[in-house]
Amino acid sequence: MRVCVPVCAKSLADMEEACARASQLADIIELRLDCVEEAIWTAELASLIRKQSRPLILTFRPSEQGGRRALTRAAREAFWKGDWGASRTALLDIESDLVIDGSFDWPRVIASHHDFSGVPDDLETIYERLAATPAHVVKVAVGANDITDCIRIFKLLDRARSEKRNLIAIAMGDAGVATRILGPSRGAFLTYGSLEDASATAPGQVTARQLRSVYRIDEINEDTMICGLVGRPVMHSVSPHMHNAAFAAAGVNGVYLPLEVRDVHAFIKRMVRPDTRELDWNLRGLSVTAPHKSSVMELLDSVEPDAKEIGAVNTIVIEDDGLHGYNTDVHGLMAPLRERVSSLNGLSVAVIGAGGAARAAVWALQKDRARVTLFARAPMKAGSLAESFGVSCEPLAAASFKNYDVVINATPANPGVAGQLAGAKLVYDLVYNPIETRFLKEARDAGCETLGGLEMLAAQAQLQFELWTGKKPANRLMYDAGLAALRQ
């Protein structure tokens, strides 16, 4: 069993309908009976169970352990003492407080422990206590506050596999997604995938469809090359869709994961650097996004000259001899722009912003001999950036872009210059979600040509993929994958 789809519905009738949809994606279905508001009559439940073609897990979890109802201990004990004759093959997920002192049909029991606050200091002791019961499967689900919280979960899976003990081990939350995707390849009894984003029954739960189609979970094994996006937040990114599509098309045994990193120093030391990492995994490459593009540089063994000049790394290649940093953002920014204007030499370009993206844009444009002017809401704050590149910095509020060949928005939001864009030839927004931003719509309404940020994202991702694999992805493949993800 690999992917379990939890079904949570307010009535058994709704649950039956959801089961029909879940059966198309799941190896096993979990009936979250604590979600049902009405009284659960044995006859009705037995009928629902008999109709299912997939194996089942039955769960009746109290709210303090992640359930949807306030359930007393007495109510739960009475529930599990019911007549389960219709569910002879179903597994029963029973909480640790009942399992330790109870008597059950042990070959069917999942003895589970949940802690949403974080990884408890006594995690291994909790595992040992549950593993000492006759339960068929042990389950431990704990909250992850940073990516490094996954280490103990992966180590617990390694231990259980060596002890030949069935274990479900999950780090919940966005920082723990790697345990959900990689868990089965490291011996986990199963992983959970929601039916839809809105129906997730635990923090950080990815959809079953994404597990299968985006991450190709059925193909991941111990030899799979692992790459990922390092940042905070990262779950909104379409980069996993693009890179995993490229892995599939190139026939590469690889997977690209979202890696929510709070402490990048601890992450690099404990999970990345080959000589100090605490995890045995085939980690090959990393994309780096906010807020770590600059701070990660001091942790690398080498940084390409362009990235040093820009002051930011967005790509790491992991080799036996160390960690090597690159900046593919510049290539991503310039490649689609060059396709539109062929040569930037002598063109007047306005760059809106004062952060890292603006810095990379100014650097790259000057390399192509464009005439650059920086525009910012607070020119004083952008002064050091303008001074470092020898460009002028003007207040955004008073700007007129009618004589500019190119206007680039290098801020994460709409700069609010709708009435100032008329006359600009090409307007380029580095934001890629939504596909047509408000800024681009305003530019189009003003009669300007437009260029969206997804072009940049795909171009920089293509170069990353080449650095990690030595293979060049098919033209437009990564763009099309990103576009499809945004349209979902």
For residue 79, the model assigns a pLDDT of 86
Q: 428-484 pLDDT, tens per residue?
A: 999 999 999 999 999 999 999 999 999 999 999 999 999 999 999 998 999 999 999
For residues 3-19, give the mean pLDDT.
94
For residue 9, the model assigns a pLDDT of 92
**What angle, rounded to 10 degrees, do the helices at 42-51 and 12-22 form?**
10
Which three-class secondary structure state does DSSP give residue 41? coil
Choose the catalytic residue: 81, 164, 269, 293. Answer: 293
| pLDDT at position 247 over 90 | yes
| pLDDT at position 1 over 60 | no
Beta carbons within 8 Å of 167's beta carbon, 6+ residues apart: 127, 137, 138, 139, 140, 156, 157, 160, 161, 187, 188, 189
381: annotated active-site residue: no
For residue 85, the model assigns a pLDDT of 60
| pLDDT at position 86 over 90 | no
Structural contact between residues 313 and 327, judged by C-beta atoms closer than 8 angstroms: yes
CA distance 104 to 351: 67
Angle formed at CA 352 by CA 351 and CA 353, multiple of 5 degrees: 115
Q: Which residue's entry shows tokens 């969206």? A: 452
Q: 369-392 pLDDT, tens per residue?
A: 999 999 998 888 788 889 999 999
Whole-prediction pTM value? 0.95
| pLDDT at position 43 over 90 | no
C-alpha distance from residue 68 to each of 38, 60, 468 (Å)? 13, 9, 44
Structural contact between residues 105 and 85, judged by C-beta atoms closer than 8 angstroms: no
Structural contact between residues 352 and 375, judged by C-beta atoms closer than 8 angstroms: yes
CA distance 471 to 477: 13
Q: 44-65 pLDDT, tens per residue?
A: 888 889 899 999 999 999 988 8
Task: Give the chain's domains with CATH numbers.
Answer: 3-221 (3.20.20.70), 230-327+458-487 (3.40.50.10860), 342-451 (3.40.50.720)
For residue 412, the model assigns a pLDDT of 92
Beta carbons within 8 Å of 9's beta carbon, 6+ residues apart: 15, 17, 18, 35, 36
For residue 199, the model assigns a pLDDT of 65
- Give phi and psi for 287, each to the nearest 5: -90, 145
For residues 187-197, give the mean pLDDT.
94
Beta partners for residue 230, in sequence order: 259, 288
CA distance 471 to 465: 7
In single-letter form, the type of residue at position 440 comes to: L
For residue 39, the model assigns a pLDDT of 65
